Amino acid sequence: EHRFRNVLWKYLGSREVGEGPDVKALFSRPGDRLLLCTDGLSGVVPDDKLAAMLQEHDDPQDCAEELCKLALDMGSRDNVTCIVIDVTETK
């Protein structure tokens, strides 16, 4: 287990380098949808169910709320946090 697993160590747009999780550059295009979540969601809800939920809900806020609810309904005992981001424009 990572000794700082409960700390937000890096974030989108961070220029910090050093100890902490690996960071990868992702190339996105309009129409892509991103899910950022804690293990309270990803550790409980299977990937195929996450993918299905992301496709079922058009509104990102709605989708995030339903994903959190699903994790709790499936018995998550950890903090559940998620953000659903729709890419509408790239530069």
H or E stretch covering 71: helix 60-73
Please, are residues 43 and 78 in contact by the beta-carbon 8 Å criterion?
yes
Beta-carbon-side half-sphere exposure of residue 46 (alpha carbons within 13 Å): 3
pLDDT digits (tens, 9 = 90+) for 2-36: 455 555 555 556 666 555 566 667 788 999 999 98
Structure tokens at 10: 């890096």
User: In whole angstroms, what is the distance from residue 88 CA to residue 91 CA?
Assistant: 10
- Whole-angstrom CA distances from 60 to 4, 5, 17, 18, 32 are 29, 26, 30, 32, 12
Taking the domains of the chain in order of start, what are their residue ranges?
A: 33-86
pLDDT digits (tens, 9 = 90+) for 55-91: 999 999 999 999 999 999 999 998 899 999 999 986 6
